[in-house]
């Protein structure tokens, strides 16, 4: 087949048609081997990457590089034979056809559908200046095949002007863009950039030290019991944690709601670091705001009960009534009570302690045993005498303090309901 009638997808070696910027329908570059419906006109860099995929799928035969054609000659992508006017879809069938068609004489004419005007550079040796330059001119009418004319010039070897053909050396692996959803903000992002996105947007920057200028924001919501709300993290979406820092009165308590902080403080206590505090508790020292007390109206409380936020039938304390205390205490004057005698309240309390020790694995958090068990004999006698008054302060030495409400309900169910023990229990307010 003559060079003047050769299809544009049939090129010599690694040569390519001249890539020119479109000035008719757009300002981008068209692929010389594909129609605009197959490859959308794009920037020069993207076009070169696309042309490299043509080289990867091209057929090399007899010094020709035959690229796949997408100019609309057939509905599907195909190859043009350099020796005849046959077009074949499958690459394997095309290679067999070319080997057989080599022996046939090439046709004298052919039609060349081309969307743009192209200039063809044919180097004799790859990587060296060409001694023969062919300029191929086609009408810039898209979608209509037309004959072309070729002008062939052969300068002398001594005065040859080296040309710079668009040659692609090496192979470029074009990988598809794989997108994944961020597990935090649920946005689609390139798989390669996902880790960097999480590190930049959703990873908390470590706080080197808590001070007046760098700390977690906090607010006091209960001055009486020393309860604060502190932001959990410094960056991104954060929810407040409840912190109790009560260092006045008879019972001091410093605790963080976060389970991780509780574990860390417990490990620090076992390691001898008794002064360790988590970043949430240390941030409370710089709390400068306090919430105003809010009085809930009866209508709001009724609505909360209907919404099952809490129930009026679930008391916070399980304590002795005046009649129960009279049954638990012997019939004598309060001043004559002695802790040496095994009273029912002490016996029930000891049985409950045994059950808690043997079933500690069923509880979510620690349980503070009654202070009565660690008192001296004089303090025990005073506590027993005060117990007959049936006040909240008199019941404190006999109270089991639970960290979680579920633990308290479990102990009440097992010890009070099943074993018939009479206990005084309380749980934290948060």
pLDDT tens digit string along 243-292? 999 888 888 888 998 888 888 888 888 888 888 889 899 998 888 888 88
Domain assignment of residue 385, yes or no = yes
Dihedral in degrees, nearest 10, Cα atoms 219, 224, 226, 230: -20
Q: In the prediction, which pLDDT does 2 show?
A: 59
Q: Could you tell me how many residues make up the chain?
A: 430
- Spell out a b/e string for 323-332, using b for 16 or more CB atoms within 10 Å of the CB, else e: eebeebbeee
Q: Does 299 fall in a domain?
A: no
Sign of CA dihedral 318, 320, 323, 327: positive
Note the pTM of the prediction, 2 decimals: 0.29
Distance (Å, whole) CA 67 – CA 51: 9
Residue 73 CB contacts under 8 Å (≥ 6 apart), including other chains: 80, 87, 113
Q: Which two tokens stand for residue 226?
A: 């020393």
Q: Based on the domain organization, do 71 and 88 belong to the same domain?
A: yes
Q: Could you tell me if residue 100 is inside a domain? A: yes
Same domain, 169 and 185: no
pLDDT in tens, 208-221: 678 888 888 899 98
- Report the distance separating Cα 318 and Cα 423, nearest Å: 7
Residue 211 included in any domain: no
Residue 304 lies in a domain: no
Residue 295 is assigned to a structural domain of this protein = no
Same-domain status, 321 and 356: yes
Is there a single domain that holds both residue 112 and residue 228? no
Please tell me whether residues 239 and 120 are part of one structural domain: no
Q: Based on the domain organization, do 275 and 393 belong to the same domain?
A: no
Co-location of 261 and 376 in the same domain: no
Question: How many structural domains is the chain composed of?
Answer: 4
Q: Is 210 inside a domain boundary?
A: no
Cβ atoms of residues 143 and 72 within 8 Å:
yes
DSSP classification of residue 285: T
With 0-12 / 13-18 / 19 or more C-beta atoms within 10 angstroms meaning exposed / middle / buried, residue 73 is middle
5 and 110: one domain?
A: yes
pLDDT at 114: 46
Sites in the chain below the pLDDT cut of 50: 108-170, 314-341, 430
Are residues 164 and 183 part of one domain? no
- Same structural domain, 43 and 149: yes
The whole-number pLDDT of residue 69 equals 92
Domain that holds residue 191: 176-204
pLDDT of residue 228: 92
Whether residues 278 and 321 fall in one domain = no
DSSP state of 76: S
- Estimate the share of the chain in helix, then strand, then coil, as percent rounded to the nearest 5: 30, 15, 50
pLDDT digits (tens, 9 = 90+) for 135-186: 444 444 444 444 444 444 444 444 444 444 444 444 555 667 888 888 888 8
Residues 8 and 97 in one domain: yes
d(CA 68, CA 53): 10
Instruction: Tell me, yes or no, whether 291 lies in a domain.
Output: no
Q: Where are the alpha helices (DSSP H) in 225-315?
A: 259-270, 279-284, 298-306
């Amino acid at each position: 087949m003559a060079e003047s009638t050769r299809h544009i997808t049939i090129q010599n070696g690694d040569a390519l048609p001249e890539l020119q910027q479109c000035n008719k329908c757009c300002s981008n570059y068209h692929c010389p081997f594909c129609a605009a419906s197959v490859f959308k006109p794009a920037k020069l860099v993207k076009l070169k990457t696309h042309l490299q995929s043509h080289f990867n799928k091209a057929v090399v035969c007899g010094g020709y590089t035959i690229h796949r054609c997408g100019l609309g000659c057939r509905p599907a992508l195909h190859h043009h034979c350099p020796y005849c006017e046959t077009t074949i879809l499958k690459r394997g069938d095309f290679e067999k056809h070319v080997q057989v068609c080599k022996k046939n004489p090439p046709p004298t004419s052919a039609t060349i559908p081309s969307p743009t005007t192209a200039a063809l550079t044919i180097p004799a040796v790859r990587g060296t200046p060409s001694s023969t330059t062919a300029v191929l001119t086609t009408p810039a009418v898209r979608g209509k095949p037309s004959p072309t004319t070729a002008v062939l010039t052969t300068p002398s070897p001594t005065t040859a002007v080296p040309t710079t053909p668009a040659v692609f050396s090496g192979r470029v692996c074009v990988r598809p863009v794989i997108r994944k959803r961020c597990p935090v903000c649920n946005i689609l992002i390139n798989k390669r950039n996902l880790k960097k996105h999480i590190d930049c947007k959703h990873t908390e920057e470590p706080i080197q030290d808590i001070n007046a200028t760098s700390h977690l924001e906090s607010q006091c919501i209960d001055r009486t019991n020393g309860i604060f709300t502190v932001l959990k993290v410094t960056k991104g979406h954060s929810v407040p944690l409840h912190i109790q820092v009560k260092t006045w009165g008879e019972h001091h308590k410093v605790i963080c709601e976060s389970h991780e902080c509780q574990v860390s403080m417990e490990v620090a206590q076992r390691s001898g670091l008794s002064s360790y505090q988590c970043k949430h508790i240390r941030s409370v020292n710089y709390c400068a705001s306090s919430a105003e007390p809010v009085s809930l109206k009866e209508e709001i409380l009724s609505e909360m009960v209907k919404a099952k936020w809490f129930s009026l039938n679930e008391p916070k304390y399980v304590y002795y009534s005046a009649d129960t205390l009279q049954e638990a205490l012997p019939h004598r004057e309060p001043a004559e009570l002695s802790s040496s005698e095994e009273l029912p309240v002490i016996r029930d309390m000891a049985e409950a302690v045994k059950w808690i020790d043997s079933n500690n694995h069923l509880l979510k958090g620690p349980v503070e045993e009654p202070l009565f068990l660690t008192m001296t004999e004089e303090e025990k006698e005073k506590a027993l005498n005060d117990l007959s008054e049936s006040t909240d302060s008199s019941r404190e030495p006999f109270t089991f303090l639970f960290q979680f409400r579920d633990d308290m309900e479990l102990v009440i169910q097992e010890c009070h309901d099943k074993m018939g023990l009479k206990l005084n229990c309380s749980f934290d307010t948060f």
